[in-house]
């Protein structure tokens, strides 16, 4: 039970850490993005960059969860639903700042991409476990 709670928290915190690193990197490396951010007047390419960061956040969160749990679990689903519920009011308040496709893409990919990340993490964990058991002691 505690392992699932820890995995969920790690995935949640990981989602936000990846996002922070991603958006800080955008601001530092893309000066036009930093200028557009305060008014949220993003170009199409800036919107795509933001969505890619969101995808990386969700993928990473799923990987974190599965590397801790190491088996099929409902934790990635719960994490995805929690994040989706958390972002619904945020996107409601930002509705006029972004086109509808942006909101739809972001909100509709959170859960599936976390699940995908979880699958990748389980595959990676199994491969590492198999490799470790094959090594002589």
pLDDT at position 71 is 83
Q: What is the pTM of this model?
A: 0.90
pLDDT at position 87 is 98
Q: Which pLDDT band, with edges at 50, 70 and 90, does 127 fall under?
A: confident
Say whether pLDDT at 89 is over 90.
yes
The Cα 117–Cα 29 span in angstroms is 26
The Cα 25–Cα 9 span in angstroms is 24
Query: Across residues 75-79, what is the average pLDDT?
Result: 97
pLDDT at position 59 is 98
pLDDT at position 70 is 84
pLDDT at position 135 is 67
Number of domains in the chain: 1
User: Is 53 strand, coil or helix?
Assistant: helix
Query: Across residues 76-98, what is the average pLDDT?
Result: 97
The Cα 137–Cα 20 span in angstroms is 41
The Cα 53–Cα 62 span in angstroms is 14
Q: Which pLDDT band, with edges at 50, 70 and 90, does 76 fall under?
A: very high
Whether the CB-CB separation of 21 and 56 falls below 8 Å is answered with no
Range of the domain at 94: 2-134
H runs (alpha helix) in the chain: 2-29, 31-37, 44-69, 75-93, 100-134
Q: How many CB atoms lie within 10 A of CB 82?
A: 15
Query: Across residues 53-70, what is the average pLDDT?
Result: 96
Would you call 130 exposed, middle or buried from its count of C-beta atoms within 10 A (0-12, 13-18, 19+)?
A: exposed
């Amino acid at each position: 039970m505690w392992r699932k709670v820890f995995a969920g928290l790690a995935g949640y915190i990981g989602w936000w850490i990846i996002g922070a690193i991603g958006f800080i990197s955008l601001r530092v490396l893309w000066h036009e993005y930093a200028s557009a951010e305060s008014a949220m007047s993003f170009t199409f390419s800036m919107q795509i960059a933001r969505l890619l960061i969101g995808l990386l956040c969700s993928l990473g969160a799923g990987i974190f969860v599965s590397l801790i749990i190491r088996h099929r679990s409902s934790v990635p689903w719960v994490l995805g639903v929690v994040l989706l519920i958390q972002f619904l009011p945020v996107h409601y308040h930002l509705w006029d700042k972004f086109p509808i496709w942006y909101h739809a893409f972001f909100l509709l990919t959170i859960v599936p991409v976390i699940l995908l990340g979880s699958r990748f993490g389980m595959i990676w964990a199994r491969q590492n476990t198999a490799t470790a058991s094959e090594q002589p002691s």
